[in-house]
Amino acid sequence: MTAAERGIWKSTELRRLLAEHGMTISAGKMSGLWTGQPTSVRLDDLDVLCVVLDCQPGDLLKPEPEVVAARKQTPAKQAASGRGPTVPPRRGRNRTQPPA
């Protein structure tokens, strides 16, 4: 919406403006930004976006407390399952050896 408010109606136009300011962005990441569902945004990239769109970070970032609440498992549910929070296994070189 912020881009549209600035008269930028196509993602390719925003991508070109970002490139002019030194931010090369892939088509996939641009798609995520344009649809409002980016996987991640680096703080450096956020600075460039704000310069190009002449806005503040708060104009681009919207809190979604309901999403955070949905991701959080309540303590009552943890107790009912008999387990605490799950810990993903470590993969790669730093894997510990099983006991002998």
Q: Please check whether residue 66 lies inside any domain of the structure.
A: no
Q: Please check whether residue 74 lies inside any domain of the structure.
A: no
Q: Please check whether residue 34 lies inside any domain of the structure.
A: yes
Q: Is the C-alpha dihedral spanning 18, 23, 27, 28 positive or negative? A: negative
pLDDT mean across residues, the chain = 82
Q: Please check whether residue 56 lies inside any domain of the structure.
A: yes
Instruction: Kindly report the pTM of this predicted structure.
Output: 0.61
Domain of residue 13 covers 2-60
Give how many domains the chain has, as a whole number. 1
40-82 per-position pLDDT tens digit: 889 999 999 999 999 999 988 888 888 888 877 655 565 566 6
Share of the chain above pLDDT 70, in %: 77
Q: Please check whether residue 21 lies inside any domain of the structure.
A: yes
Widest pairwise Cα distance in the chain? 66
Q: Are the C-beta atoms of 46 and 60 separated by less than 8 Å?
A: yes
Tell which wins on pLDDT, 82 or 30: 30
Q: Please check whether residue 33 lies inside any domain of the structure.
A: yes
